[in-house]
A and B are shown apart, each in its own frame.
Chain A
Amino acid sequence: MQSAVVLVVMSALVFLGVFAIGNPVDILVSPQADQAEIARATAALGLDKPLWEQYLVFLGNALHGHLGNSFVFNEPSLTLIVQRLPATLELALSAMLLAVVLGLPLGLYAGLKPDTALARAIGAGSILGFSLPTFWVGIMLIMVFAVELGWLPSTGRGATVSVLGVDLSFLTWDGLKHLILPAVNLSLSRIALVIRLAASGTREVAHMDYVKFARAKGLRPRRVILVHVLGNILIPIVTVLGLEIGAVIAFSVVTETIFAWPGIGRLIISSITVLDRPVIVAFLMMTVFLVILINLLVDILYSVLDPRVRLGEARA
């Protein structure tokens, strides 16, 4: 219910916003067009009607699952987004995977042995990962690994294989090679984030009584770290990653643009430049939906990770 209200408010805001920015016809129509052609294009795109009427028409169609045809592509905006979604999801999930696989162990190490040189290096590295602009890092990655060393392709998405009708590129060698640079680019700041969360969490937890107790019980250090430390630092990391994954899917515009990755980030940015309202509306509604979904998943994960949440539910 709450989500539905958010969706409606969102669509109204976008409608007003695009209306306030400018008239799509002024950008789309050929410069050579005369006044008659401009009037025709305005009518063809349904922009000749008053705004409230355009909005009501949109709402009516939306109830039937049709979010309108793109002004630019003349295809349903939802189709355009769904077409590009696998590429974006693939990139986003690879980046998040890298963040967890690299960030967690590095963070744990830095937290457990904070005074070693390596831990300091990890800490310094994570600050770099945070502060370097994605844009610059992306260009540097291309210059070093594609132009100078020639190890990896510079841009684009590699060969894909269709799995249940979804095109996936990470299953082919060519696709994987294309995926590495953009995924690393997108994941750098997230790796840094996980490192810092994990390191500070570990340092806190390491002095807790239950960890000391576990050690005193004579458990192997490995078990202490994996069960007692890791288990307790995961909650904040999952919370943040949940928020981040929404952002990575919806707004990895910079990485997708630099690496010419055919995902939804590039679609939305080009749609905004030409005021392709149906696509902007559909995109933002999808984003809202996605964020709601991810929050739900995060809540479920909480209860898996934290027995207290489960107990709370059981009592209630």
Chain B
Amino acid sequence: MARWLSALVAAALALASSASAQELKIALAAEPTSIDPLYHTLNPNNQVARHIFDRLVHQDARQRLVPGLALSWKPIGDAVWEFKLRPGVAFHDGAPLTPEDIIFSIGRADKVPNSPASFAIYTKAVKGIDVIDPLTLRIKTGTPYPLLPSDLSTIAIQEKRAVEGKGTEDFNKGTAAIGTGPYKFVEWVPGNRLVLERNDAYWGPKPDWAKVIMRPIPNNATRVAALLAGDVDFIENVPTADLARLKQNPAVRVVETVSNRVIYLHLDSNRDQSPFVLDNDGKPLAKNPLKDRRVRLAISKAINRQAIVDRVMEGAAIPAGQLLPDGFFGVSPNLKPLAYDPEGAKQLLAEAGYPDGFRLTLHSPNDRYVNDEKVAQAVAQMLSRVGIKTDVQAMPQAIYFTRASKLEFSFMLLGWGADTGEPSSPLKSLLATNNPAKGMGTANRGRYSNPKLDALLEEALATVDDEKRAGLLAQATEAGIEDVGITPLHYEVTLWGMRSDLTFEGNTNQYTQAFDVHPVKK
């Protein structure tokens, strides 16, 4: 029966593929909220924008910086970056790319009206742009700012003439959606389909597909069914529950790539009394045990990361020992995932004065990260085994993040994707001491504070030299992780599913990009 079934599926897929080799149908888990590339910095939006628009600097599959519309860039002095532009680039309407378009695009980031999540965070270092000649730009940053190329790798370059004075709806209709990217915008029917057409004049490698149709299929089970039925060729976010079954299906290929997202536990290591830390009788504890490094370390040691990866995540994750997986810029070579050691954990708890443990509530979202609530349940069981009796309270993200940011919780499961592909992003947001004036510790919901880490991070953020900065970031990470400011659990692995006659180069950004999908060479 199973063999008959898979043969049938294979036949159906073969039929579908021969019908139109030039067309690629992709099922998205979530559709963009707008085609305007600077309206809302959100994965579904950014990945669509990458088809239509280029950026000065591009990120490769591992988020290392590679030339985009700029051929090269280098710091000149301490607070100026020089960008050499790629000659002969044209927009989809035939107009040549000029420095004015670039100045306009960077300047537009903080001027998009009603933006719920603007790109201004990536352009605030820009203090001025000088045009030296038609192919040379100098961007002033005021103070040394090593992250400028990285920040600018998020800013889509648009055509000034087409965009000036236009709004979000003009992008959605397509009149303003004119970029230099590998695909041209054809039409967007929200909730139904987004159609793109190959830009034959593209300066880079030509995409394999003349036409790309992206359809949002939010339900996991039906997204997989659409692939099996041959209605689509490629799907994103394969649910882990279907992973084993799909891997056995000869008609389907699954591509797994580690992402830049770490799932971690944040602990209230700041307040003397924390709302969800109780003694064994359920009364508030006079002293918050999470302030004690030994207790935090005990919690980290009590967690069997490999078991979570194998059982809860069905193998679609990698045990984590720091903020970003190996191979990223600035990660520490010394930090490995902490070994599972329940005896050591009990001993540390006894040393800290809690031989009988205490009570804790772990709060978790249930619709944000892959299997988030199940991971929280597993962690709670593991902690209960060493004496920290842990309850789980899971809730939709709509409620969760507001309460977490108001510091209503003591112990939280969270995730962080490093858009910049290096550890300064999680260090700044999660571990640096909360300081609104400096924009530090925005997502530090445990209010962890470590002066040594703050100093190293500040130095790193002002060091333009790449090698030195990488070393400083690694040291800052070590300072935070060894002190157990947060407890990393695992890095999510992104799963893409496709017909077996396609290949795809997965990327750590979790972007689904049609131009990275290729037919298997026969």
Decide: B443 and A31 in contact? CB cutoff 8 A.
yes
- Residues of chain A with a CB closer than 8 A to B399's CB: 21-22
Distance in angstroms between the alpha carbons of A28 and B192 in the assembled complex: 22
With beta carbons under 8 angstroms apart, the residue of B33, B167, B231, B396 that contacts A273 is B396
Interface residues of B in 478-519 (CB under 8 A from A): none
In the complex, which residues of chain B have a beta carbon less than 8 angstroms from the beta carbon of A267?
Answer: 191
Residues on the B chain within 8 Å of A44, using CB? 113-116, 118
Bound-complex Cα distance A150 to B399 (A):
41
Contacts of A114 in B (CB 8 A): none
Question: Nearest residue in B to A146 (C-beta to C-beta)?
Answer: B229
User: Is there contact, CB below 8 Å, between A272 and B120?
Assistant: no
CB–CB B222/A273 < 8 A: no
Q: Which residues of B contact A23 (CB under 8 A)?
A: 402, 405
Complex alpha-carbon distance, A263 and B417, angstroms: 31
B419 within 8 A of A: yes
Say yes or no: is B190 at the interface (Cβ < 8 Å to chain A): yes
Are B117 and A28 interface neighbours, CB within 8 A?
yes
Q: Flag if B229 contacts A153 (CB, 8 Å).
A: yes
Given contact pairs A74-B34, A148-B8, A156 touches B192 in the complex (Cβ within 8 A): yes
B425-449: which residues lie under 8 A (CB-CB) from chain A? 425, 429, 436, 439-440, 442-443
Chain B residues 381 to 404 lying within 8 A of chain A, measured CB to CB, are 396-403
Stretch at the interface among B87-95, B132-140, B212-220: B212-220
Q: Are A150 and B12 in contact (CB under 8 A)?
A: yes
- Quote the shortest CB–CB distance from A29 to chain B (angstroms): 5
Q: Which chain B residues numbered 359 to 418 have a C-beta less than 8 Å away from chain A?
A: 367, 396-403, 405, 416-417
Chain A residues closer than 8 Å to B226, beta-carbon distance: 146, 154-156, 260
Answer whether residue B225 sits at the interface, using C-beta atoms and an 8 A cutoff.
Answer: yes
CB-defined contacts of A35 to chain B, threshold 8 Å: 436, 439, 442
Per CB-CB distance, the 5 closest pairs between chain A and chain B, nearest first, are: A262-B191, A34-B439, A22-B402, A28-B116, A262-B192
The reply on A306 being an interface residue by CB < 8 A is no
Chain A 272-316 against B: per-residue CB contact (8 Å), 1 yes, 0 no?
Answer: 111100000000000000000000000000000000000000000
Residues 146-173 of A, flagged 1 when their CB comes within 8 A of B and 0 if not, give 1110100111110000000000000000
Contact A74 B168 (CB under 8 A): yes
Say yes or no: is A89 at the interface (Cβ < 8 Å to chain B).
Answer: no
Q: Is A54 an interface residue (CB 8 A)?
A: no
A202 within 8 A of B: no
Give residues 32-49 of B contacting A (CB, 8 Å).
Answer: 33-34, 36, 39-42
Instruction: Identify the stretch in A65-73, A214-222, A239-247 within 8 Å (CB) of chain B at 4 or more residues.
Output: A65-73
* Bound-complex Cα distance A63 to B226 (A): 44
B121 at the interface (CB under 8 A from A): yes
The contact string, 1 if C-beta is below 8 Å from chain A, for chain B 153-189, is: 0000000000000011100100000000000000001
Besides A22-B398, A44-B118, 7 more A-B contacts (Cβ < 8 Å) are A26-B402, A26-B405, A40-B120, A80-B190, A147-B9, A150-B12, A258-B221
Supposing A31-B429, A154-B225, A154-B229 touch, asked if A262 and B189 sit within 8 A by C-beta, the answer is yes
Main secondary structure of the interface of B (DSSP, over half): mixed
Given A139-B222, A155-B217, A274-B398, are A32 and B121 neighbors across the interface (CB < 8 Å)?
Answer: yes
**Docked CA distance A154–B36 (Å):** 30
Cβ contact within 8 Å between B225 and A142: yes
Q: Inside 8 A of A139's CB, which chain B residues have their CB?
A: 221-222, 225
Q: Which of A44-73 contact B (CB under 8 A)?
A: 44-45, 69, 71-73
A157 to B189: give the CA distance in the assembly, Å: 11
* Most A-side CB within 10 Å, residue of B219, B436, B443: B219
Interface centre among B191, B229, B401 (most CB of A within 10 A): B191
In the assembled complex, the Cα of A84 lies from the Cα of B192 at a distance in Å of 10
CB nearest neighbor in A for B403: A22
Q: Considering the chains assembled together, what is the distance between the CA atoms of A172 and B398 in angstroms?
A: 40
A94 close to chain B: CB less than 8 A: no
Contact A147:B34 (CB < 8 A) given known A35-B439, A71-B116: no
- CB < 8 Å neighbour of B33 from A33, A36, A72: A72
CA distance A73 to B117 in the complex (A): 12
Whether B231 contacts A146 by the Cβ 8 Å rule is: yes
B42 proximity list for chain A (CB < 8 A): 30
Residues in chain B near residue A21, CB distance under 8 A: 398-399, 402
- Complex Cα spacing A61 to B348, Å: 61
User: Quick check: is A15 within 8 A (CB to CB) of the other chain?
Assistant: no
> How many chain A residues touch B (Cβ–Cβ < 8 Å)?
58
Contact with A along B60-84 (1 / 0, CB 8 A): 0000000000000000000000000
B227-252 near A? 1/0 per residue, CB < 8 Å: 01111000000000000000000000
Chain A contacts for B429, CB-based, 8 A? 31-32
Q: Does B520 contact A (CB under 8 A)?
A: no
Please name the residue on chain B nearest to A266 by beta carbon: B191
Judged by a CB distance under 8 angstroms, whether B19 is at the interface is no
| A27, A34, A266 — most chain B CB neighbours (10 Å) | A34
Give A310 Cβ to nearest chain B Cβ, in Å. 43
Instruction: Tell me if A25 is interfacial: C-beta within 8 Å of chain B.
Output: yes
Interface mask (B186-213 → A, CB under 8 Å = 1, otherwise 0): 0001111100000000000000000000
Docked Cα-Cα span, A29 to B221, in Å, equals: 29
Most chain A CB within a 10 A radius of its CB, from B33, B217, B399: B33
**20 pairs, CB–CB < 8 Å, chain A vs chain B:** A27-B401, A34-B121, A35-B439, A37-B117, A41-B117, A74-B115, A87-B192, A138-B222, A139-B221, A143-B225, A146-B231, A148-B5, A150-B12, A150-B229, A260-B216, A260-B219, A262-B190, A262-B191, A270-B218, A274-B398
The reply on A259 being an interface residue by CB < 8 A is yes
Q: Which residues of A contact B436 (CB under 8 A)?
A: 34-36
Measured between alpha carbons, how far is A250 from B396 in the docked complex, in Å?
A: 22
The answer, yes or no, to whether A257 is at the interface (CB within 8 Å) is yes
Q: Complex formed: what's the CA distance from A139 to B222 in Å?
A: 7
Query: When A139-B222, A258-B219 are in contact, do A41 and B116 touch as well, CB less than 8 Å?
Result: yes
Query: Which listed residue (A142, A147, A266, A272) contacts B398, Cβ 8 A?
Result: A272
Cα(A153)–Cα(B222), bound, Å: 11
When distances are taken between beta carbons in the complex, the residues of chain A under 8 Å from B440 are 34
Residues of A within 8 A of B215 (CB): 155-156, 260
Identify which of B113, B120, B221, B229 contacts A37 (C-beta below 8 A). B120
> Are the C-beta atoms of B114 and A74 separated by less than 8 Å?
yes
Contact B118 A142 (CB under 8 A): no
B367 in complex: contacting residue of A80, A258, A273, CB < 8 Å: A273
A38 on the B face (CB < 8 A): yes
Give Cα A54 to B219, complex, Å: 34
Q: Which residues of B contact A84 (CB under 8 A)?
A: 190-191
Instruction: Check A266–B117 contact: CB distance below 8 A.
Output: no
Residue in B114, B120, B436 whose Cβ sees the most chain A Cβ within 10 Å? B114
Cβ–Cβ < 8 Å partners of A71 in chain B: 114, 116
**Assuming the A-B contacts A154-B226, A154-B231, A262-B190, are A257 and B116 also in contact, with contact meaning beta carbons closer than 8 angstroms in the complex?**
no
